[in-house]
Structure 1
Amino acid sequence: MSILTEAQAKAILDKVIKLSTADECTAQLSGSIDGNIRFALNNVSTSGVVDNTDLVVQVAFGKRSGVATINQFDDASLERVVRRAEELARLSPENPEFMPAVGKQAYTPTRTFNASTAAISPEYRAKVAADSIDACKAEKLVAAGFLQDGQSFQAFANSNGNFGYQQSSGLDYTCTVRTEDGSGSGWVGRNLGDVDKFDAGQDIRTAVRKATASSGAKALEPGKYTVILEPAAAAGLISFMMNYFDARQADEGRSFLSKKGGGNKIGEQVYDPRVNFHADPGDADVPVMPWDGDGLPREKMDIVKDGKVVALDYSRYWAQKSGKRAVGTPGNLIMAGGDKSTADLVRGTSKGILVTRTWYIRMVDPQTVLLTGLTRDGTFYIENGEIKYPVKNFRFNESPVIMLNNIEELGKPIRVQGDESSIAMMIPPMKLRDFTFTSLSDAV
């Protein structure tokens, strides 16, 4: 029962809405079938499929609301979950920031579902693991990785007549490759909606090359360096920064987008003029659901244009309080770039450092988005357009705001997953000056 058709989902949701005696009722139904395979030390360790379907019912009496969840859908169970939500609503205190359910909305379907991806089989997962492991064994390397794929649906309805339904699918693959003595490490990751664009046997070669090349790393003095961040490395910092594109945080003085004396920095130059971010639920490379968690339609919208902040995320409550129009919270982030690959950026660099990944990123100062973290899985010194030798990993202290004011060149964006958010991103490799490394790390 994990993947319901639109008609099946609507029949259940309509029953729930009719059962409620509250002032308003919203019901959300979701289901998924998720497959996975995990391997380590060149052997498969786990594999499986998980399927689940849940119904979440939220009701309100005035400004008192209650929520209950169930995964059984017979008539008695549906009535039980509605009554439980109503009991909780009557017991709860009033919420001064309560917003009623949205009215009927119009949604433009997006291409979040791919039949080939949804049809991934256990045999396919086994082949991905085998392709990854065999390529490493051939080079006397050790592979550890994870493939997760799935298909799902989302459906919701409320007592104001709103309804939405859509299916989605996708896959995530990561593989870390180590030398047998543990002195070298390489990594590759892929986040895709279309399995036909994925070839583990081809992609693993990137991690194999880096693992072999990163053995015997030399120590460089910490300091400010020209760096080339691969898209996965840049995404970790940028996704952290985007958590602060909230209008309320900015208006209340709690973010780097707060203006001295009050208000926010919409319309102000915050980044290099080459920095452009936008969201588009219908983007061909990173399509997302056409609505957000409140049921508001998502729109194609600029977020940063030529370095100027042009949009922040207004919750429905804060939009009403501020006299703004609330729009759906973006589900993706697309950064403009050029047409060069990471290798092209390396060839154009006289001296610098190539960073494969950033990890263990933590906040130091939210007012400046100063972050600290570590490089890993392949860090290399560049000289005269060539990778000369591997270097020990660094700890960095850097703000993505400063980073995006120190751009030398941007490459071609690719699809990646942000570490600090679930949104899909299109991020280019980027060449930056004066990136701050503060200390060395012995980890590979």
Structure 2
Amino acid sequence: MAIYTKEEAKQIMEKALSFSTADACEINLNGSESGNIRYARNTVSTAGHRSNQTLVVQSNFGKKSGTATIDEFDDESLKKVVKRAEELAKLSPENPEFMEPLGPQTYDESITFSEATANITPEYRANVANSSIEPAAAKKVTAAGFFDDSSRFSAMLNSKGLFAYNKSTDSNFTVTMRSNDGTGSGWVSRDYNDISKFNAGEASKIAIDKALMSREAKAIEPGKYTVILEPAASIGLLGNMGRSLNARRADEGRSFMSKEGGGTKLGEKIVDERVNIWSNPLDPEVPTSTWNGQGQPLKKTSWIEKGAVKNLAYSRYWAEQKGVKPVPFPSNFIMQGGDASLEDLIKNTKKGILVTRLWYIRNVDPQTLLYTGLTRDGTFYIENGKIKHPIKNFRFNESPIIMLNNLETLGKQVRIDGNLVPYMKIRDFTFTSLSDAV
């Protein structure tokens, strides 16, 4: 049994802590039960179930730290892992950025667990695969997909009196559909804490339709185009922008958030004023744990407000150096959207390109947040409010900052990779060359 209750987890961790002789000791206990099914060429290839549990002990003597891990929790095993962590700590050099463990904290009750997701069966997973394979075969399309679900818990206890516990569920689904003639490709992704929100047939149909629509794509000239970005297309660029909201990197002159001559862009307007981005562990669509790996409480936090940088993330160490309060890194990103559906955005576009997703995104210039990558799995030319024909894929060179300053329309929010991101219409998106990949 890999999922322990709060009481069971605390009992095991308290037993381990009782063996500690270190100046400070932190114990993390994690466990998960997960299942998966994979299919390719319209046939299930693998399916499985995993059960894991791990206890990690970090012992400190002054600024020296040692860590040891074990997956057996009898008294002798717990003594052994604590002793090993202490031996390693005594051998380690001092960490000049060591921070004492936090004392007791108060956390909001998380909403990350769904009983329905925890009770997923092998039969359910088989039906997910079948919901892709049967309609794909009927349309002369080949499906390759993966569905994974998990129940897990995380717990933390330290010698300063902190105790934290969270139980959660997750599910992830991706499928690629290829037309049997090899010229068309469609793709879709879904992820939920609550599996009752997931419809495998609906998701698979989107990918099938795109595979059929994208056959025999035509080449058009690279250049600057108005684009409609589906959330799977923009999440990579937005995620990279989010990771730049790091106070230390900005203070040290190593990021886009650094100002020439010193200082940061905190408080400055950097994108269109319609852009509002925040994190919230209690958002019902994208809930997360209400505490992080250091035991810090996570609260709703605004990062970009009316286009201006509202907060930068400060680690405990860097906050102490700067004499400010720590601001924990976000566990999710939520970008405010509008009311327009994807169909509305297409209908209101005279000329443009619909992008299903971007991939193979690579950093070109961290100081300007310039990235390059490729479109994939369904790229279409729009004319007079309708999709006119599929087009060959492009390589792009673009910055999320430039992208969000060229914002035309915000559409409805969609969950993608644990975040909420809207459909977006962007002008002057830069495509630099063609790609023959489907």
Return the TM-score normalized by structure 2.
0.99
Aligned length, in residue pairs: 438
1:212-258 per-residue CA deviation (whole Å, 9 max, x = no partner) reads: 01001000100000000001111111112211111000000000000
Following the alignment from structure 1 to structure 2, what is the Cα–Cα distance between the partners of residues 438 and 328? 37
| Aligned with 1:429 (options 423, 427, 438) | 423
Matching of residues 275-294 of structure 1 within 5 Å: 275-294=275-294
Contact 1:372 1:396 in 2 (8 A): yes
RMSD: 0.7
Offset, 1:327: 3.3
- The amino acid across from 1:177 in the alignment is M
SS in 2 for 1:438: strand
Structure 1's consecutive aligned runs of 4 or more residues displaced over 2 angstroms after TM superposition are: none
1:62-110 per-residue CA deviation (whole Å, 9 max, x = no partner) reads: 0000110000100000000000000010000011111010111000111
Offset, 1:282: 0.6
Following the alignment from structure 1 to structure 2, what is the Cα–Cα distance between the partners of residues 173 and 364? 30
Aligned to 1:247: 247
Contact 2:312 2:327 in 1 (8 A): no
- The amino acid across from 1:30 in the alignment is N
Contact 1:299 1:327 in 2 (8 A): no
1:22-41 per-residue CA deviation (whole Å, 9 max, x = no partner) reads: 00000000000111000000
Aligned to 2:436: 442
Following the alignment from structure 1 to structure 2, what is the Cα–Cα distance between the partners of residues 29 and 329? 22
What residue ranges of structure 1 are gaps of 5+ in the alignment? 418-423
Offset, 1:396: 0.3
Aligned to 1:377: 377
Contact 1:333 1:425 in 2 (8 A): yes
- The amino acid across from 1:405 in the alignment is N
Contact 1:364 1:372 in 2 (8 A): yes
Return the TM-score normalized by structure 1.
0.98
- The amino acid across from 1:145 in the alignment is G
What residue ranges of structure 2 are gaps of 5+ in the alignment? none
Contact 1:153 1:167 in 2 (8 A): yes
- Percent identity over the alignment is 57
Aligned to 2:36: 36
SS in 2 for 1:395: strand
Following the alignment from structure 2 to structure 1, what is the Cα–Cα distance between the partners of residues 434 and 233? 17
Aligned to 2:86: 86
Contact 2:58 2:67 in 1 (8 A): yes
Contact 2:340 2:411 in 1 (8 A): yes
Higher mean Cα deviation, 112-121 or 193-202? 193-202
Contact 2:368 2:399 in 1 (8 A): yes
Following the alignment from structure 2 to structure 1, what is the Cα–Cα distance between the partners of residues 255 and 115? 42
Aligned to 2:179: 179
Offset, 1:328: 2.9
Aligned to 2:237: 237
- The amino acid across from 1:262 in the alignment is G
1:236-291 per-residue CA deviation (whole Å, 9 max, x = no partner) reads: 11112211111000000000000111111110011110110001111111110001
Following the alignment from structure 1 to structure 2, what is the Cα–Cα distance between the partners of residues 64 and 155? 23
Higher mean Cα deviation, 237-246 or 178-187? 237-246
Aligned to 1:224: 224
Matching of residues 141-180 of structure 1 within 5 Å: 141-180=141-180
SS in 2 for 1:413: strand
Contact 1:281 1:299 in 2 (8 A): yes
